[in-house]
Structure 1
């Protein structure tokens, strides 16, 4: 069964779409995060939840 770790990001309402894209791209490329959920509030705030797989390595000894 897959297990995930989650990272919640809150972007303020003044954040442009380009800046939000850049932040998410950096997390995806360098931290191996993928987008799980994005919520855009009416006042312009963004709530983003990223996830990545937790790899469990079984001992071979």
Structure 2
């Protein structure tokens, strides 16, 4: 399985509820899920999101022309 990653750095002046709303929005509409969250001593949040890369196979149709 292959994953696509997105890294975010969120400043300390964003509230916890604002960050939660943003992450929920990305999860519901973009298919992202939380991989890692690191809270630094200065209050900055470093977030890594991930989502599955879905490869579509090309389909070939060999039908009859009638």
Query: Same fold, TM exceeding 0.5?
Result: yes
Q: Counterpart of 1:59?
A: 58
Q: Counterpart of 1:41?
A: 40
Alignment TM-score, normalising by the size of structure 1: 0.91
Structure 1 residue runs of 4+, over 4 Å off?
none
Matches within 5 A, 1:10-49: 10-49=9-48
By percentage of residues, which structure has more strand?
A: 1
Distance 1:31 1:13 in 2: 24
Deviations 1:10-35 (A, max 9, x none): 10011111011011011001101000
Distance 2:42 2:14 in 1: 11
Matched pairs, number: 60
Structure with the greater alpha carbon radius of gyration: 2
Q: Counterpart of 1:5?
A: 4
Alignment TM-score, normalising by the size of structure 2: 0.85
Q: Which runs of 5+ in 1 are unaligned?
A: none
